[in-house]
Structure 1
Amino acid sequence: MTVGDTTSGAGEEPPSDSSVHATPHHEVDHTAEPTDDPLAIRLEALILGADRRYTPFQAARTAGVSMDLASRFWRAMGFADIGQAKALTEADVLALRRLAGLVEAGLLSEPMAIQVARSTGQTTARLAEWQIDSFLEGLTEPPEPGMTRTEVTYPLVELLLPELQEFLVYVWRRQLAAATGRVVQAADDDEMVDRRLAVGFADLVGFTRLTRRLEEEELGELVESFETTAADLVAAHGGRLIKTLGDEVLFAADDAGTASEIALRLIEAMSQDEAMPALRVGIAFGTVTTRMGDVFGTTVNLASRLTSIAPKDAVLVDGAFAKELVRHGDAPESEAQAAEEVAAAAERARLAEKEGREVVEEPPLPTYRFGLQPMWQRPVRGLGVVEPWLLARRGKTGS
């Protein structure tokens, strides 16, 4: 796992084909020089925390890690093929040494360490792009005439970098604590991977037509507004945002009641924004495989299919989801049942009044939050015939 000389970066260079290879989804090019601008060079050093001084082979040798393992780590993190350019820093050496050390100590298996590198690389790549885009929006006009973007950026980065770094660690710890709590509550090891969850897709109707009509900037603002609203509502009501796909978001919740509240809140929020197209939501309940922060399985596929057939400004759910709502008392089995319960309560009250007794409801009349209306059965591609249910707030279904 290690190479012989771990004390020096000098020595014979390996063939170019043993260098780092590209990963298309979150590729990072380390070979691009920061030009001859001294301020640009200082800016890069400020962000990286050190100057470039190692080739990949030298970094691996100095870290005491085989070039093969180092290449797999870098590939997983999304580092592009840099040949043997001198582009790596002391921070790269330290990261290699730490990750390989976890494997050597038996704290992580090698495949698990690769997964850690890949998940971290993919997540932080998107985070970095997102933050840079946000910062650049405020840098379209320099504060003083003649200032370059680098001159504007350097003091901003110098101030923001340590604060954002601390904030990143804080948010990661909070999210890690929440994820750990969900694992601890799992009944057994199988439930940690395969869990029963409510999974929902929320999709903007007619988005393809919008892309032809709106300017790029307008389209970007619309997508950002949709994703922000969705993320806020999902988090506020106890769900988890799995991913955003531009005109669609995927979320999950531990129970059907939480997922119902999220879905209806999304519909209500979007309908109040005149700039937003209509929204449709599909939710299914069942066994879901969770891996690398994503969800997979038939339940997820069914939720996606339900979304595609849902009317605009409406929520469609599957039969298993409807049963969960009924089982937990969040919805009646039917509007007829709810009407019978109300009629029975009214009759008890009438008799009590006639007999001069105090009206005491035992048991109290159920307070249903949601209503369910059965829809026509229909074939769904790849899943057979399903019977969707239209979900609404109580009092907006049936009649």
Structure 2
Amino acid sequence: MTADDSGATPRDVDTGDDAVPGAPDDGSAGDSARGGGGAGDAPADGSAPAGTDPARAASEGAPAAREADDENTIAIRLEQLILGADRRYTPFQAARGAGVSMDLAARFWRAMGFADIGQVKALTEADVLALRRLAGLVEAGLLSEAMAIQVARSTGQTTARLADWQIDSFLEGLTEPQDSGLTRTEITYPLVELLLPELEEFLVYVWRRQLAAATGRVVRAQDDAEMVDRRLAVGFADLVGFTRLTRRLEEEELGELVEAFETTCSDLVAAHGGRLIKTLGDEVLFSADDAGVAAEIGLRLIETMTHDETMPELRVGIAFGTVTTRMGDVFGTTVNLASRLTSIAPKDTVLVDEAFAEELGRIGEAPVSEAEAAAAEKAAEEGTGSPPPPYRFALQPMWQRPVRGLGVVEPWLLSRRD
């Protein structure tokens, strides 16, 4: 029975004592609801804690208390601005108002990455509506319960990282105080007020564009099996000697180097038709539907980094085969093989597996046998045969070697064809 069926609203429901997740645990709501904290916390009436000198507390603690109150006030105003509503409901009331069980509500909230907050009145109308929408998709049969939780988890993880980046990198630079009379906190509110609607619209635009691109990739699959388990080219690009750099560079320098590396890789992968799966500090993982696209990306990464004197050497490993995709990530033996190839690749080179080499040959991007290609070229010059395709890439077989967990593999060195 939903809240509407019973005639009850979230305000009509008594709160419980079970600890359940609700909203990001910033500590402000939780502390006020608990009515106190650990040893040394001031009582709710504002008097000095037991065992302290009231006069000393008044003289030494008042400025700090006023400063803390001011910061809390601005924090609450910022939260209201961003969320667009006041805190009105406990998690129990929100679940009841959305017409879902507490168990399902807790699973949704945890999947979105929100901390357990007990029964603090910290949720808004938007939280109730989000629960109602997810539950409605399940009730309508559009999503299974497990899939709805996956939607919540993938969205929560992605947007959490985006929000952290925007606060740590974006807003931090923009809120540098220009006037000594204003603090960074005081500058933040009007800035967020101006940026919020613009960033919100831009986020939706980019998401729609990415959704359209992802949908296009799926519908181009040749059969139902390939819509989930698809044959892709998967590559890793890894900075050589990164561990040594971490000991030699200052933290700020190291951060700038990693950011420049990730930016370069992201731009090159996108520009040439690949997809950046994730970044891992000194390593990036990318994929491409086409082996020729992946080969171009791998070589472009090496060429770009080689000409940048501020960057360490790079090595790239690419494999081709069946890949399982889940929540925007890729898994399987093909991914593991690409990682192993990267670890054994000489600096400033691209190593590929045998399946990738064969795929390049199949689509006419590289001759698997240079001898056969040379013979075909000679026959074409003599007028006794057809010219070979205009190969873009060259492949050189390397020594077979055992690879941990994958048996013996035969790497191929990828290069541009002269």
* 1:233 corresponds to 2:234: no
Out of 74, 87, 107, the position equivalent to 1:52 is: 87
Give the equivalent residue in structure 1 for 2:417: 394
Cα deviation code 1:190-240 (max 9, x no counterpart): 111111111101111111111111111111111111111111111111111
Cα drift, residue 255 of structure 1: 1.5
Cα deviation code 1:351-377 (max 9, x no counterpart): xxxxxxxxxx97444311000011000
Give the equivalent residue in structure 1 for 2:238: 203
8 Å CA contact 2:379–2:385 kept in 1: the answer is: no
Cα drift, residue 335 of structure 1: 2.4
* 1:109 corresponds to 2:111: no
Q: Distance in 2 between matches of 1:147 and 1:286?
A: 57
**Letter of the 2:9 counterpart:** T
Cα drift, residue 253 of structure 1: 0.6
Cα drift, residue 135 of structure 1: 2.0
* 1:183 corresponds to 2:218: yes
Distance verdict in 2 for CA 1:6–1:294, change over 3 Å: farther
Structure 1: tracts of 5 or more residues without a match: 22-26, 349-360
Distance verdict in 2 for CA 1:206–1:2, change over 3 Å: farther
8 Å CA contact 2:274–2:288 kept in 1: the answer is: yes
Q: Distance in 1 between matches of 2:270 and 2:327?
A: 19
Cα deviation code 1:123-149 (max 9, x no counterpart): 000011111122234146312112111
Q: Distance in 2 between matches of 1:143 and 1:257?
A: 50
Give the equivalent residue in structure 2 for 1:32: 28
Out of 265, 270, 288, the position equivalent to 2:305 is: 270
**Letter of the 1:20 counterpart:** P
Distance verdict in 2 for CA 1:28–1:214, change over 3 Å: farther
| Residues 121-132 of structure 1 mapped to structure 2, 5 A cutoff | 121-132=156-167
**Letter of the 1:196 counterpart:** R
* 1:324 corresponds to 2:324: no
Give the equivalent residue in structure 2 for 1:354: none
SS in 2 for 1:129: helix
Give the equivalent residue in structure 1 for 2:393: 370
**Letter of the 1:379 counterpart:** P
**Letter of the 2:307 counterpart:** Q
Give the equivalent residue in structure 2 for 1:357: none
Give the equivalent residue in structure 2 for 1:358: none
Q: Which moved more, 1:128-137 or 1:261-270?
A: 128-137
SS in 1 for 2:157: helix
Distance verdict in 2 for CA 1:186–1:212, change over 3 Å: same
SS in 1 for 2:396: strand
Give the equivalent residue in structure 1 for 2:96: 61
8 Å CA contact 1:139–1:149 kept in 2: the answer is: no
Structure 2: tracts of 5 or more residues without a match: 32-67
Cα drift, residue 52 of structure 1: 1.2
SS in 2 for 1:226: helix
**Letter of the 2:305 counterpart:** M
TM-score after normalising by structure 1: 0.90
Cα deviation code 1:227-260 (max 9, x no counterpart): 1111111111111111111111111111110100
Root-mean-square deviation (CA, aligned residues, Å) is 1.9
8 Å CA contact 1:30–1:80 kept in 2: the answer is: no
The aligned length equals 377
Cα deviation code 1:175-195 (max 9, x no counterpart): 111111122112222111111
8 Å CA contact 1:281–1:314 kept in 2: the answer is: yes
8 Å CA contact 1:6–1:63 kept in 2: the answer is: no
| Residues 137-286 of structure 1 mapped to structure 2, 5 A cutoff | 137-139=172-174, 141-286=176-321
Give the equivalent residue in structure 1 for 2:168: 133
Cα drift, residue 86 of structure 1: 1.5
Q: Distance in 2 between matches of 1:10 and 1:224?
A: 51
Q: Which moved more, 1:180-189 or 1:134-143?
A: 134-143
SS in 2 for 1:280: strand
Q: Distance in 1 between matches of 2:141 and 2:176?
A: 52
Q: Distance in 2 between matches of 1:161 and 1:6?
A: 34
Cα drift, residue 328 of structure 1: 1.1
Cα deviation code 1:325-363 (max 9, x no counterpart): 111111112222232233233333xxxxxxxxxxxx974
SS in 1 for 2:15: coil
Cα deviation code 1:28-52 (max 9, x no counterpart): 3244359633333221111111111
Q: Distance in 2 between matches of 1:9 and 1:149?
A: 38
8 Å CA contact 2:398–2:413 kept in 1: the answer is: yes
Cα drift, residue 270 of structure 1: 0.8
Q: Distance in 1 between matches of 2:205 and 2:257?
A: 29
Give the equivalent residue in structure 1 for 2:36: none
SS in 1 for 2:147: helix
**Letter of the 1:212 counterpart:** R
TM-score after normalising by structure 2: 0.86
Q: Which moved more, 1:236-245 or 1:38-47?
A: 38-47
Distance verdict in 2 for CA 1:183–1:139, change over 3 Å: closer
SS in 1 for 2:230: strand
8 Å CA contact 2:376–2:385 kept in 1: the answer is: no
Out of 110, 124, 133, the position equivalent to 1:98 is: 133
**Letter of the 1:367 counterpart:** P
Out of 310, 335, 345, the position equivalent to 2:370 is: 335
